Amino acid sequence: MRIDLHTHSNVSDGTEDPAVLIASAAAAGLDAVALTDHDSTAGWDRARVAARAHGVTFIPGMEVSCRTDTGISVHVLSYLHDPLHVGLRDEIERSRQARLTRARRMVELMSEDYPISWELVQEHVTEGATVGRPHIADALIALGVVTTRSEAFESVLTARSPYWVSHYAPHPAIAVALIREAGGVPVFAHPSAFNRGAVVGGAVIDEMIDAGLKGLEVEHRDNPQHARVELRRIARDNDLLVTGSSDYHGSGKPNLLGENTTTRETYEAIVGLATGSRIS
């Protein structure tokens, strides 16, 4: 059974509609796939219908954007939570609104040097999507400022850029606790992705474990091999599940569906822990 527990549609920063993503997963030989758009569950219904049509098991999920007290970005994957849970829903909405305000301000700053506008950025945002830097990147590509999203993130949109603006995001331990309250299963996404910036140490991971963390995404292209050894040790010592995923974004990133997968035993353990939603 081939299972990919981390993918993104154009509801967040992927390039494929949720239904198209599911079709792509079926074509890639996957038996089960989770849709984990950033801070949004808006693609679940379309993905669920497509999964039935293609004979693929659909696992509803979400990737919650978090930040530590020291400003380090952390992402927590949530599987099978209740999308109507008030606490988690309100926290996600607060974060979404903060990202919207931040995106507007970044575009305002960029407009002093580039012919970019908020209206142009909105042309690249799918209905229900969480507006973010990928959509600004797409606008910059349309303008010819950069040629790819990766180029945009390495230049105009980097945290070292004069256009950078920070935004609110929940502490990862708070996100973990809310996911558990919503009946979901929280897994720390790409914990050792050093190429993305600073990563958290043991103290934050311990806080997340105390809050109810259930797993670590170990098999991920952004976790170096030497770091995976340590992540497996942490998982073993703390009775955490170990997952593997592609973090697929369509043509937005080079990641390929099924390039890393999760075992059937881990998948069944996640389903067994969840009380908020159901698989399809």
16 in the same domain as 130: no
188 in the same domain as 87: yes
What was the pLDDT predicted at 40?
93
124 in the same domain as 246: no
Q: How many whole angstroms separate alpha carbon 99 and alpha carbon 104?
A: 9
86 in the same domain as 9: yes
- pLDDT tens digits in sequence order for the chain, 280 residues long: 999 999 999 999 899 999 999 999 999 999 999 999 999 999 999 999 999 999 999 999 999 999 999 999 999 999 999 999 999 999 999 998 998 999 999 999 999 999 999 999 999 988 777 778 989 999 999 999 999 988 999 999 998 999 999 889 999 999 999 999 999 999 999 999 998 888 999 999 999 999 999 999 999 999 999 999 999 999 999 999 999 999 999 998 899 999 999 999 999 999 999 999 988 7
> Does a structural domain hold residue 258?
yes
> Does a structural domain hold residue 280?
no
Strand order in the sheet with 185-188: 3-4, 32-35, 57-67, 73-79, 185-188, 215-219, 241-244
> Does a structural domain hold residue 279?
no
197 in the same domain as 216: yes
Domain, as residue range, for 213: 3-93+169-273
> Does a structural domain hold residue 159?
no
Q: How many whole angstroms separate alpha carbon 62 and alpha carbon 69?
A: 22
107 in the same domain as 85: no
- Could you tell me the CATH number of the domain that includes residue 220? 3.20.20.140
> Does a structural domain hold residue 13?
yes
What was the pLDDT predicted at 3?
98
> Does a structural domain hold residue 162?
no
| C-alpha separations of 80 from 10, 109, 228 in Å | 20, 39, 25
What would you report as the CA-atom Rg of the chain, rounded to the nearest whole angstrom? 18
- Could you tell me the CATH number of the domain that includes residue 149? 1.10.150.650
> Does a structural domain hold residue 138?
yes
What was the pLDDT predicted at 278?
85
58 - beta bridge partners?
33
Q: From the CB of residue 126, how many other CB atoms can be counted at a distance below 10 Å?
A: 18
Nearest CA-CA partner of 131 in 142, 120, 146 = 120
Q: From the CB of residue 181, how many other CB atoms can be counted at a distance below 10 Å?
A: 16
119 in the same domain as 76: no
139 in the same domain as 30: no
E runs forming strands in 40-198: 57-67, 73-79, 185-188
Are 185 and 215 in contact, with CB atoms under 8 Å apart?
yes
Q: CB under 8 Å to 231, separation ≥6 — which residues? A: 191, 192, 216, 218, 223, 242
Q: How many whole angstroms separate alpha carbon 21 and alpha carbon 118?
A: 27
Q: How many domains does the chain have?
A: 2
83 in the same domain as 29: yes
> Does a structural domain hold residue 140?
yes
182 in the same domain as 68: yes
14 in the same domain as 126: no
Alpha helices, H only, 112-252: 118-122, 133-143, 149-154, 172-181, 202-211, 225-237
132 in the same domain as 43: no
Q: How many whole angstroms separate alpha carbon 275 and alpha carbon 59?
A: 13
